[in-house]
Structure 1
Amino acid sequence: MIDSRAPRLYPVRQKKFGVLDMPDSKAGNATVAALQKSNVSRYIQLAGLFRQRIESGEWEVGAKIPTVKELSEQCGVATMTIRQALASLEKDGLIARYRAKGTFVLDRPKRDLWCEVKTDWTGMLIARDNATINILSDDRNVSLPRYEGHIGNAAPAYRHLRRLHSRDGTTFLLADVFVDERLCSQIDEEAYSKVTAMRLVSDLPGQTIVDANQIVTIGSADLETSDLLNVSIGDPVAKVQRMAVNQHGDIILLANGIYRGDMMKIEVKLR
């Protein structure tokens, strides 16, 4: 219950041209159609939608949001689904639900977009400030997995490291790094837990990087990714594949990374 000392809270302000200004039938039909386009659980999709409304200011901090019944009718889903979505927001400290008073916005989602995915060679060699790398697994003499792109030929065997990157206790990148097994003896063991994937092979004696590429695709977190990156199942992630080929045409490094979508941005160098 809200006590007398709590700050005064206000109803949601209807933003001009916002979804809530649309007639209920049109808004509901649009939301239902959008929900049907994905196989992700409805309550997860709705939790994301409601977060966006808070982040954009459509649901302002201190505002009372529509009731469960109103949201159920607007979104074309059962009231239980709405309650599940709101429970997710409440767990994150974005809303508070009070009996007989309603549900109120407490805070906006935090978006710390400090994690930049560079698209030029120099940028891929730069380590992120204050980032730590935890090696989850280290396997030797494995085969190269399937990869996108059409550059280079697979080496006979690779060293496979699964690495979890974090900063200030917050994970932001899960990466599977494959290094040509023939080159591993030239790499300082400490480097595997300290430098970026490309830096591992960029300056090795006798090796010249003649071709390298990076492919970025947008996806959603599965069960394992959500657990390791501490995000919800279905949350947006950026999947980044980086590959380096030496002067002999061999793929000496393949790195498959999954970045949290709420912490990264892509910077493209045009000139």
Structure 2
Amino acid sequence: MPSEISPSARVPQEKRYLQLAGLFRNKIVTGQWPVGSSIPTVEQLEALHSASRTTVRMALGCLVAQGLLKTRKRGGTQVMAAPQRPPSFLLPSSWKDLVVFHSNTGYRTLASEADCLPVIPSGMTTVQGTLAPAYQRLLGLHCCGDQPFCLSQMYVEQSLFQRIAPQLPQMSVVEALTRGPRPLATARQRLSVAPADELIQAHLGVPLGTPLMQTLRWAEDRKGQIVHWAQLSFLSEYAHIEMDLLG
């Protein structure tokens, strides 16, 4: 029988070394590899991560180029600095928080397209509303300064979008929906972890398959029609969740 192939062996070398570079970078961020300490040898990292010497060296080279690691002449690699930690945004847990979040982050529109339909994943039994015949699709980036950290795909029922469109230069879509002509009866969101696809790779600059925090959000009017659907994908280092466990 052929020998079993490990999951890491199925990953192309380019993606594999980027995965390792991200893992090693996280070890510095979390203090597992403190500044000033020596990290495991290349041979130890090879064995630990079932990776080739070339792949490990390429991953370490990424962090050397960033000034986080330094290879010493007498052998070994030392941690020189910790990467700057980006601000972490608390993911909204209410519509009110959502309005504040959208107001406090930079937003850049990438595309706006009429006569679209959102794709609702199968198995989402909590989505009870009915789809409208057409929606306006808005593709955009949430940014912290100049750094994009979230790719947003939002859909607004077509006729409703036409009515709130004049307000959008001054306010976010969610705030316009709050003040809009069709009161929202229900609004829900679902948080999960999902891999980066080609669209996310193109706009957030992460390798395909990178795990990202994903929010699916939808709102219905009083007639049970879905007037708003959104899919947001966050770079995980920019987002966190907090919950009151005794509240």
TM-score range, shorter chain: 0.7 to 0.9
What is the 5 A alignment of 1:221-260?
221-260=196-235
Would you say the 8 A contact 2:106–2:143 is kept in 1? yes
Partner of 1:51: 25
Tell me the secondary structure at the aligned position of residue 241 of structure 2.
Answer: strand
The TM-score normalised by the length of structure 2 is: 0.83
What is the 5 A alignment of 1:125-136?
125-128=99-102, 131-136=105-110
Would you say the 8 A contact 1:166–1:173 is kept in 2? yes
C-alpha displacement of 1:171: 0.8
C-alpha displacement of 1:153: 0.4
Aligned partner (choices 170, 173, 195) of residue 220 of structure 1: 195
Tell me the secondary structure at the aligned position of residue 63 of structure 1.
Answer: coil
What is the 5 A alignment of 1:29-108?
36=8, 41-108=15-82
Label 1:204 to 1:85 Cα distance change in 2 as closer, same or farther (>3 A).
Answer: same
Structure 1 residues 26-84: Cα deviation after superposition (integer angstroms, max 9, x where no partner)? xxxxxx98x65996843233223322322232321122223322322333321011012
Larger Rg: 1
What is the 5 A alignment of 1:53-202?
53-128=27-102, 131-147=105-121, 148=124, 149-189=126-166, 191=168, 194-195=171-172, 197-202=173-178
- Aligned CA RMSD, in angstroms, stands at 2.7
C-alpha displacement of 1:138: 0.8
Label 1:250 to 1:265 Cα distance change in 2 as closer, same or farther (>3 A).
Answer: same
Measured in 2, the distance between the counterparts of 1:247 and 1:39 equals 48
Large movers: runs of 4+ above 6 Å: none
Q: Which amino acid aligns with 1:146?
A: I
The TM-score normalised by the length of structure 1 is: 0.76
Measured in 1, the distance between the counterparts of 2:65 and 2:171 equals 34
Structure 1 residues 171-208: Cα deviation after superposition (integer angstroms, max 9, x where no partner)? 1111111000011222144516841x432312212x12
Structure 1 residues 147-182: Cα deviation after superposition (integer angstroms, max 9, x where no partner)? 444221001110011011112111111111100001
Tell me the secondary structure at the aligned position of residue 77 of structure 2.
Answer: strand
Q: Which amino acid aligns with 1:104?
A: Q
C-alpha displacement of 1:222: 3.4
Structure 1 residues 207-230: Cα deviation after superposition (integer angstroms, max 9, x where no partner)? 121111101111233343134123
Would you say the 8 A contact 1:135–1:193 is kept in 2? no
Would you say the 8 A contact 2:154–2:230 is kept in 1? yes
Gaps of 5+ in 1: 1-31
Q: What fraction of aligned residue pairs are identical, expressed as a percent?
A: 27
Tell me the secondary structure at the aligned position of residue 206 of structure 2.
Answer: coil
Would you say the 8 A contact 1:171–1:230 is kept in 2? no
Tell me the secondary structure at the aligned position of residue 184 of structure 2.
Answer: coil
Label 1:131 to 1:125 Cα distance change in 2 as closer, same or farther (>3 A).
Answer: closer
Once structures 1 and 2 are overlaid, which stretch shifts more, 51-60 or 259-268? 51-60
Measured in 1, the distance between the counterparts of 2:80 and 2:237 equals 19
Label 1:72 to 1:37 Cα distance change in 2 as closer, same or farther (>3 A).
Answer: closer
Measured in 2, the distance between the counterparts of 1:38 and 1:262 equals 27
How many residues were matched structurally?
A: 237
Gaps of 5+ in 2: none
Partner of 1:265: 240
